[in-house]
Every structure is written in structure tokens, then in C-alpha cells.
Structure 1
Amino acid sequence: MASDGGILDGLARRRSLRAWTRAARGAEDAALPDLRRQIDAARGLRAQLDRLIHTGEARLAGSAAGDAVPQSRPGTDWWWRPEIWNGPLDAPGMASVPAGSALGAQARLFHDCPRAEIALRQVRNRCAAGLAPYALQADVFGFDGSYLSLALEVPDAAAQGLQKRHVIAVEAAIETERPLEVFVRLNIRHGPNTEQLVREVTPGADPAVAEFDLAYTRLNDRRTERLWVDLIFERPAMTQIVLRDVTMSRRVRAQI
């Protein structure tokens, strides 16, 4: 038997849906001041609904995939999986992708090819256990540039308390149709300077791991502002690239 609270919640939802249905039907004839108020209210509601859908579907997908969060290494104090691999994007695909195109709120695609015959789409991971719920697939056809790069904007939490005693690891499950040179570049903005660290990784490794020991950098850890990561694929023409999973973590280096 449904509780009183459940019945009231259901009534409130149906009442709200009817009100928004009436507003949508009457938008053509509504007075402009009323229309502005309705639009502002709808935008606020849509932002919260989008957040609920993204987080909820990511949790449900993760549960179906066995809650695909890897075991943290000893000393790990921060861990992150970008939204592309965590939950469904509003626009799951695009074609003829120009340089600088955004994929959700945390990623952009860059390249140096004027004729960008590139198709991107987010797909569900249905293979090995332990991977993210979603994957990113790039089909590259005619491409006369030299590189393709996916830039990931790292949350501010990674920069908070970052010190030279930290090691940052980027792990990526990468599949390519043919051999490619793949690099991971970590960028750290500190004051007016940007520290850039590059590691080459091998597609097909399980997963490919790039580690960056900050002890060997000129990082001013009192002025760290932001981090971002570039996944760089050199000369990717006529191939398919599938990023099955990408995660990033931060841990304190073991003291010797």
C-alpha cells in the first residue's frame, strides 16, 4: 500500500507536469513578461533535471557494470573519471568535427587538419568487467593533419593541496585499429607558468598508465591554479580509436 507521502509526491508531480504542459501550449500567445518568467523558471528546472538524469543514469549504468571503480593505490587522496565515461552526454555524437569542439562540459577535441573527416560518438561499454559504463569512439577517415588531441578539464579539487610530493597517474584503456603513437600530457598552471609533462603510452595495454612524479618539476605548489590533460594521437588517419575508460588519480609518494 502506498504511503501518504508517496501519494502526495505523485500528485505534486502530475500537477507540475500539467502546469508546464499548459505553459508550453500557451507560449505562442503568452504576454512577454510572463513568458520571460516562465523561461527563467524552466531553465532553472532543466538544469536540475539534467543533473538528476546524468547522475542517476551513470549510477544505474555503473551498477549494471558491477560498479566499475578500480581499487585505489595506497596513499591515493583524489580520484576522478571524466563525465564522458561516467554517464550519457546530451549530444552523444557528432560528425566532421571542427577543432575546439566541446564534448560535454569537461572535454574538447583539437586537431590541425583543415579537412576533418572525424566522427565521434559515445557508446556503451559491454565488454570486459571493471571498465567505465561508457566509452568514446572516434572514426577518423580523410585526415591530412599530424595530430588529434582530446583535452580534459580536470576538476579544481585536483589542484587543492597539490604538492611536489604527489604522483599523478592517468590510466586509459585504449583500442586502435592500427598502431599509433599515443601521448599523455599533464598541464599544471601555477602562477604565470605552466608545467607540461609528457609520457608515451601503448594502446592495448590493460590499461595504459602514464605516471607523473611532481618531485622532478619546477612546480610552485603555493600557486597551483588548475590542471588539464591532453590525450594526443599522432597521424590517426584511416583508423578507429576507442577510449574504453580514462581515469586520473593523485597519491602521495612513498617515503624511502
Structure 2
Amino acid sequence: MAKPPNGLIDRLLHRRVMRRWEKVADRAPSLSLPSLRRVRSRALQLRELLDRVLFEADARLTLPLVGSNAFQKPLHSDWGWRPQLWRGPIYPPGAAAAETKSRFGDEVTLFHDCRVSELTVRQIRNTREEDLAPFGLRMDVFRFDGSFLSLVIDLPQGAVQGLKRKHLVRLNAVVETEKPLEIFARFNVRHGPNTEQIVRELPLGEDEIMVEFDLAYSKLNEKRVDSAWVDLIFEGPEMNQVILRDVTFSRRPRAEL
């Protein structure tokens, strides 16, 4: 285990560094532009390290506990899952001017067709008393010149092992928006060369959102199920902030008649 940086020498070094940056901050308004560029470069390097420390500290010192997979599942569920992005810290935690196909963690990918991206995506730490997920995802959308914006969540193999047409797959989410917009969830299952798709609109305005995908009405070939993923599609996202506080999935067999 690494020795904690709290000895006398460490404290003295910390005070010295703080005094140095305090002087730099006081002199910044009067620095020449070349000097200011050099100072800015060093400050950005320092901020990157500080952000890493603060992100890890917030992740470990704040409730809900990091790694929590606790959430309510329907009775008789045979599978349940919270993606990594809402369960534990990812690095880097976000991106400004996020490009299409940017990945956040191992399972979430951003897609859009903007010519100029004015989209910021960042993982945030949930701290509200009612939050069950340790982390959330915040998207700030400014000018949007594209025709689509979506998050693709790759489901693990556990989601498709033993998947049958008798199954109901449930998506639960906690969503906050700055102003109203439409969000659709599209459940995709690949079986052999074909892909089944079921689309549901998320009923926004509720504390916790739930939609179910009923495979009974699909043409799923149960013997050839290969993989599954969910697209969250945001309609008209311009000049809006969307926070996904939690996203969870579960499945259960339909009751026999």
C-alpha cells in the first residue's frame, strides 16, 4: 500500500506549491501573451492530475457505493444488470465536442451525424439520497446541426443466454431534462443474419421510467440468438441538458396461461 502524502515534508511542499500558484494567479492579468500561454499549458497539465485525484476521491467517498448493482427487479426475473458507466468510474470521464462513435466505458457508444459537434458528455457522481446508481451521465447539447443523436448500450452475454420469445425485457431509467424532448428506446437482438427490433417511447415526467420489450410478437429464432443492444434515441436535443441518473435492465419469463 502506498504511503499517504500527509507527512511534514509533504505538507511543506504543498504549502510551497500553493504559494507559487497563488502568485501566478495574481500576476496572470499582467503577463505577456507568450508567458500566459506557457502558464496556461502548465496549469492544464496540473488540472488534469487534480481532476483524476478528485474524481477518484468523489467516487470512493460518496454514497451510493461504487460498484453497486442494487436495484429492484420484477418478480421471477432471471437476469438483471446495470451498465458499467452507471456502476463505476470510467476514464476519461467524458469528452467535449464529442465525436461520433466515442466510447464511454466498455459498453456505451455515442452516435450522431453533426458536421460540427457542440455536444459535451460527462460521467457524474450521483449524490442524491434517492439515487441507487453510484454514477450518472450528463449530456449538454448546444447547437445541433445533425439529424440523429443516440447512445448505444451493448448488453452482456448474460442478456441473451437462454433468451426466449416468452421473455419480457425491461428497461428502467431515471432521466432529468432541462426542457421536454422525446427519447425512444430500441431493443435489438441479432439472431443469425437477422436482427429483431422493438421500439418504445420513454414516458418522461415520472420519477422512474420503465418500458418493456415483449418478444412474443417478434420473429426471434431462439436457437440462433447471438447478441443484443439497446439504442437510446434523442429527438430534438438542441439547447438541452439530459442527465441519465440510472439505467438498468432485467428480464423475466411471461406468466404461463
The TM-score, its normalising length taken from structure 1, stands at 0.74
Q: Deviations over 1:71-122 (max 9, x none)?
A: 2211100000001100110110111111111111111000121111001111
Aligned to 1:144: 145
Shift of 1:204: 3.0
1:194 paired to 2:200: no
Contact 1:68 / 1:129 at 8 angstroms: preserved in 2? Answer: no
Q: Please state whether the residue corresponding to 1:215 is helix, strand or coil.
A: helix
Q: Distance in 2 between matches of 1:62 and 1:157?
A: 25
Contact 2:64 / 2:131 at 8 angstroms: preserved in 1? Answer: no
Q: Distance in 2 between matches of 1:84 and 1:103?
A: 7
Aligned to 1:63: 65
Cα gap change, 1:179/1:160 in structure 2, threshold over 3 Å: closer, same or farther? same
Contact 1:68 / 1:133 at 8 angstroms: preserved in 2? Answer: no
Contact 2:138 / 2:242 at 8 angstroms: preserved in 1? Answer: yes
Which structure 2 segments of 5+ residues have no match? 4-55
Contact 1:125 / 1:244 at 8 angstroms: preserved in 2? Answer: yes
Aligned to 1:226: 227
1:252 paired to 2:242: no
Q: Distance in 2 between matches of 1:222 and 1:193?
A: 13
Q: What letter is aligned with 2:73?
A: S
Contact 1:145 / 1:235 at 8 angstroms: preserved in 2? Answer: no
Shift of 1:205: 1.7
Which structure 1 segments of 5+ residues have no match? 1-9, 15-53
Q: Please state whether the residue corresponding to 1:76 is helix, strand or coil.
A: coil
Contact 1:101 / 1:108 at 8 angstroms: preserved in 2? Answer: yes
Aligned to 2:177: 176
Q: Deviations over 1:191-226 (max 9, x none)?
A: 000001100012232211110111110000110000
Aligned to 1:104: 105
Q: Please state whether the residue corresponding to 2:65 is helix, strand or coil.
A: helix
Q: Distance in 2 between matches of 1:224 and 1:63?
A: 34
Q: What letter is aligned with 1:164?
A: R
Q: Please state whether the residue corresponding to 2:190 is helix, strand or coil.
A: strand
1:87 paired to 2:75: no
Q: Distance in 1 between matches of 2:200 and 2:129?
A: 26
Q: Please state whether the residue corresponding to 1:157 is helix, strand or coil.
A: helix
Q: Distance in 2 between matches of 1:113 and 1:211?
A: 31
Aligned residues: 203
Name the Cα RMSD after superposition: 2.2
Q: Distance in 2 between matches of 1:59 and 1:75?
A: 34
Q: Distance in 1 between matches of 2:205 and 2:133?
A: 16
Aligned to 1:203: 204
Q: What letter is aligned with 2:236?
A: R
Q: What letter is aligned with 1:63?
A: L
Runs of 4+ residues deviating >6 angstroms: none
Q: Deviations over 1:22-48 (max 9, x none)?
A: xxxxxxxxxxxxxxxxxxxxxxxxxxx
Contact 2:60 / 2:66 at 8 angstroms: preserved in 1? Answer: no
Percent identical among aligned pairs is: 47
